[in-house]
């Protein structure tokens, strides 16, 4: 094989190798870019997840506070009902005593 043919073959191989290397670099850059995009998407979704968790905790906290207020109000109403019941029972008892003792009733 003449030197020119060998030289030409080596140059062809070098050119082909350069093309393959360029394609590999290009593909590697695409992969890296896609990986960065995916990483950013994952990081963004974690932020959203954290926001959702925070919102959930806020809702639970508000619900607990509302439940505490409602329980407190129910206890207050229960105490008022009990107090009114005591007053009514006292009035009924007094009327019975008045009837038995012959005191005039209204």
Average pLDDT along the chain: 84
At residue 46, the pLDDT reads 75
CA count, 13 A, side-chain hemisphere, 23: 6
For residue 99, the 8-state DSSP code is H
| 32: its two tokens | 């890296």
pTM of the model: 0.46
Kindly report, residue by residue over 55-71, the tens digit of the pLDDT: 999 999 999 999 999 99
Q: 80 pLDDT exceeds 90?
A: no
């Amino acid at each position: 094989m003449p030197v020119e043919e060998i030289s030409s073959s080596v140059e062809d191989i070098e050119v082909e190798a350069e093309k393959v290397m360029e394609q590999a670099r290009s593909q590697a850059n695409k992969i890296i870019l896609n990986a960065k995009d995916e990483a950013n998407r994952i990081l963004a979704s974690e932020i959203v997840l954290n926001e959702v968790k925070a919102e959930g905790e806020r809702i639970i906290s508000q619900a607990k506070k509302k439940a505490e207020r409602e329980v407190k109000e129910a206890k207050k109403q229960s105490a008022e009902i009990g107090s009114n019941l005591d007053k009514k029972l006292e009035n009924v008892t007094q009327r019975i005593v008045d009837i038995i003792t012959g005191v005039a009733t209204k």
